[in-house]
Amino acid sequence: MSTSQVTSFYYSGQGSVLLAERDVSGNALGFTPVGNVTALTLGIEVSKLEHKESVSGSRGIDKTLIQEVNVSMSMVMESLFKENLAVALYGSSSSVAAGSISDEQVVARHDKWVALSEPNLSAVVIGDDAVPTNTYIEGTDYLLNAAAGSFMALSTGGIADAQTVFVDATTGGHDVVEGFISSAAPERWLRFEGLNTAEGDKTVVVDVYKFAIDPLAELALINEELAEMTVEGSVLQDTTKPTGGTSQYFRQQYVVV
């Protein structure tokens, strides 16, 4: 065959990754983009039986039998918003509205930071009782980290060591991620809506029907560069999908014209 008749189709991918919860029938319950993903990979492993013939004397392999197929998926995510973290940490996410704390009782410790119940504080008042006789002064009696929601009673101030103080404050809104409140792997429909930039930005769509996500192995909290997290898991067989010419694992669709 002449090489002039060969047409090559090259691929270099970019695009959006979306996740959806599944109903009991395996249908996607609406997709949410996960933000910037710098790498998305499908991995396929097989275990096979190799049969050796015993006639020729060379013990040549004359038959292979696929015994098991394992499909995995990995993506590197840079958007560490609460929903992504909750899925990767087997937890939950929520948003706390602005409000207030009133008469929160906290045991003060001289020259040590003590945590309050919420961060993002303003208009903080620390007193010696619910109806205070003494209201303490920031910078003289205590130090305050209003953003983090903590304070330090100064040994040079008017708060006694191990004294119970009462705190009032205005609280700003903030997000909460509760980690590892479930031991069950989240199962999501993953959809990649991409572009093949090597072929004129032609559309590529990949649907992974049942992605069982492994717990996050590492979450960097102090870093020099932009933080990222690697989310890995198994692509499970989705028995809600028909057999006979269609996959129960994933489907790829390419626009080539």
Q: What sign results for the dihedral spanned by CA atoms 185, 189, 194, 196?
A: positive
pLDDT of residue 227: 93
Report how far residue 149's alpha carbon sits from residue 132's, in angstroms, rounded to the nearest whole number. Answer: 21
The token duo for 114 is: 């003590």
Report how far residue 252's alpha carbon sits from residue 207's, in angstroms, rounded to the nearest whole number. Answer: 7
Report how far residue 134's alpha carbon sits from residue 117's, in angstroms, rounded to the nearest whole number. Answer: 22
In angstroms, the Cα distances linking 44 to 100, 103, 104 are 52, 58, 55
Chunked into runs of 10 residues, the chain (257 residues) has average pLDDT values of 74 95 95 97 92 90 89 96 96 96 97 97 97 96 98 97 98 96 95 94 95 95 94 95 89 82
pLDDT of residue 1: 52
| Single pTM value for the model | 0.84
pLDDT of residue 9: 86
Cα maximum dimension of the chain: 101
Q: What sign results for the dihedral spanned by CA atoms 33, 34, 36, 37?
A: negative
| Strand boundaries in the chain, DSSP class E | 13-21, 32-33, 37-52, 61-77, 92-96, 99-107, 113-115, 121-127, 142-145, 150-153, 164-171, 174-178, 187-196, 202-213, 229-235, 250-254
Confirm if 75 and 40 have CB atoms less than 8 A apart: yes
Per-residue pLDDT reduced to its tens digit, 76-90: 999 999 999 999 999
Report how far residue 215's alpha carbon sits from residue 87's, in angstroms, rounded to the nearest whole number. Answer: 8
pLDDT of residue 2: 59
Per-residue pLDDT reduced to its tens digit, 142-180: 999 999 999 999 999 999 999 999 999 999 999 999 999
